[in-house]
Amino acid sequence: MARFWRRRPSVSSGGPSTGDPEAPVEVAESRRMLAGILEHVEEGVLLLNGTRVRWLNPAARLMFPALKQPVGRLLVEVVREHRIDGLALRARESRLEQAAEVELPISGRILQVRAVPLHDGDLILLARDITRLRYLETVRQQFVANLSHEIRTPLAGLDLAAQTLSAELPADGDMRLFIDRITQEAGRLADIVFNLNQLAALDAEGIAVERLPFSVDDLVRALVDRYQARAAAGQLVLRADIATAGSTAVGDRAKTDQALQNIVDNALKFTGSGEVVISASAELSRVEIAVRDTGPGIPGRDLARIFERFYKVDRSRGGQPGSGLGLSIARHLVELQGGTILAESIPGAGTVIRVRLPRAPLTSP
Ligand SMILES: Nc1ncnc2c1ncn2[C@@H]1O[C@H](COP(=O)(O)OP(=O)(O)OP(=O)(O)O)[C@@H](O)[C@H]1O
Ligand SMILES: [Mg+2]
């Protein structure tokens, strides 16, 4: 190690040195700037050589205060956390950047850590304290969960009162119109509350996810059957397209079904005329269920955002009813199973939403 320090005197515990007399002025200047930046960034920065700490900035010293003299010591002695040490090891061995979220046992701080391999076996470790961010996320989730729970009871009361009144009223007239409107709006509110409760349940940790083989064809056919009447009422063609018959996905059938219901609901809701096709296909290691429609499509700038909570394209124009939660729930449900979901669209021509799940290994005959 000593030889190392002599060979590279520019690195010391005080930060990258700026005092190389032979360095041209610009080099010295940029070193000074770099040292200044690293000194003041909130992100912890540690420079490693092998498993030892070569240098660290003040933010990293605050995050990992275990040793007074951390320079030259083993990383694990400095950070006191085997997962961070393991992350650095994986980055060094794979020569690929690695990232993880780690909760420090003593301080309880939550860090987002990245290990980035440099040349010569050097490695840079970047740590960001996201404790407050995680806390605020929990507060938001609890707020939404509590709110949706509290709304459920008065909503049920409202619906019951409207139904009782409705039974007393003559079949037509203004009062009937109003009471039907109340029932309809209460129903929409109940849908929103249902979606919010679903999201709250998905946010809660430890949600059970099955990983069992299920037939993709059956799932697609069942969906087509379930929505056939609604499609016909809207004068739309709804059909299945099974490209690879007999393929089997591994995952949670009920959750996949729920996700696809949200996607098919959108396709039928936004498509004015034409058709909605639910297709199934398989590749070597994954299956894909795609829902394609001939609706208005989604502009490119919105496409990446439709999976966000409450995001609706052109919300200000009113348009179709909905709270903007269906696709965020769908994404959650698919990703929980290790799957992916993506959207493609040509404005004016239609939209395709693709759900991909791991494929069950083919059993030999
Ligand atoms: N097939 C589609 N064609 C055109 N636009 C779509 C389609 N699917 C989704 N979108 C756009 O993406 C937005 C988000 O969809 P999402 O399902 O999350 O919400 P929503 O349908 O508006 O409400 P919710 O599903 O909560 O009732 C929609 O409001 C719509 O603007
Ligand atoms: Mg929807």
Confidence of residue 20 (pLDDT cuts 50, 70, 90): low
326 lines ligand 1 (CB under 6 A): yes
Report CA torsion sign: 322, 326, 327, 328.
Answer: positive
Q: Which ligand is nearest to the CA of 323?
A: 1
Q: For 323-337, what is the mean pLDDT? A: 94
pLDDT greater than 60 at residue 178: yes
52 pLDDT band, cuts 50/70/90, is very high
pLDDT(7) > 60: no
Cβ of 289 less than 6 Å from ligand 1: no
State yes or no: pLDDT of 35 exceeds 70: yes
Q: What are phi and psi of 336, to 5 degrees?
A: -55, -30
Residue 274, ligand 1, Cβ within 6 A: no
Residue nearest to atom 8 of ligand 1 (CA): 266
Task: Name 307's Cβ contacts closer than 8 Å, sequence gap at least 6.
Answer: 327, 328, 330, 331, 341, 343
Q: At residue 1, does pLDDT exceed 60?
A: no
Q: Tell me: pLDDT of 193 over 60.
A: yes
Which tokens in the block code for residue 288?
């894909």
* 350 close to ligand 1 (CB < 6 Angstrom): no
Residues contacting residue 31 through CB under 8 Å, at least 6 positions apart: 10, 16, 17, 18, 20, 23
Q: How far is the CA of 160 from the centre of ligand 2 (A)?
A: 26
Condensed to tens digits (0 to 9), the pLDDT of residues 157-177 reads 998 999 898 888 888 888 888
Ligand 2 center from residue 258 Cα (angstroms)? 12
CA 205 to chain centre: 14
Judged by its nearest atom, the ligand closest to the C-alpha of residue 317 is: 1
Q: Which ligand is nearest to the CA of 313?
A: 1
pLDDT at position 273 is 94
Using the predicted structure, report yes or no on whether residue 309 has a pLDDT greater than 80. yes
Residue 12 has pLDDT above 50, yes or no: no
Task: Sort residue 80 into left (φ over 0), alpha (ψ -120 to 50) or beta.
Answer: left
Of 293, 299, 288, the residue nearest 265 (C-alpha): 293
For ligand 1, is residue 312 a contact (CB within 6 Å)? yes
Segment among 63-67, 80-84, 110-114, 358-362 with least mean pLDDT: 358-362
| Lowest-confidence pick of 201-205, 249-253, 341-345 | 201-205
Delineate the domains of the chain, giving CATH numbers in brackets: 2-129 (3.30.450.20), 135-203 (1.10.287.130), 212-358 (3.30.565.10)
Residue with tokens 């060979």: 7
Task: Identify the band that residue 363 occupies on the pLDDT scale cut at 50, 70 and 90.
Answer: low
267 lines ligand 1 (CB under 6 A): yes
Closest atom of ligand 1 to 312 CA is 29
Lowest mean pLDDT among 92-101, 141-150, 269-278: 141-150
Index of the ligand 1 atom closest to the CA of residue 296:
4
**What per-residue confidence (pLDDT) applies to 13?**
44
- Which of 79-88, 136-145, 316-325 bottoms out in mean pLDDT, i.e. has the lowest? 316-325
The answer to whether the CB of 224 falls within 8 A of the CB of 185 is no
Whether ligand 1 lies within 6 angstroms of the CB of 270 is answered as yes
| pLDDT interval class at 318 (50, 70, 90) | low
Q: Residue 208: pLDDT band by 50, 70, 90 thresholds?
A: confident
Mean pLDDT for the chain overall: 88
Which ligand 1 atom is the nearest neighbour of the CA of 325? 26
Question: What would you report as the CA-atom Rg of the chain, rounded to the nearest whole angstrom?
Answer: 28
Residue 4 pLDDT exceeds 50: no
Chain segment 107-138, per-residue pLDDT in tens: 899 999 999 999 877 999 999 999 999 999 88
Q: Is 351 in the pocket of ligand 1 (CB under 6 A)?
A: yes
pLDDT in tens, 70-106: 999 999 999 999 999 999 999 999 999 999 999 998 8
User: Which whole number is the average pLDDT over 264-290?
Assistant: 95
pLDDT over 70 (residue 10): no
Q: Which residue has the tokens 């980055």?
A: 91
**Gap between the Cα atoms of 291 and 271, Å rounded:** 12
Closest-lying ligand to the alpha carbon of 305? 1
Alpha carbon distance 126, 111 (integer Å): 10
Query: Is the distance from the beta carbon of residue 313 to the nearest atom of ligand 1 less than 6 Å?
Result: yes
Centre of ligand 1 to C-alpha 174, Å, is 33
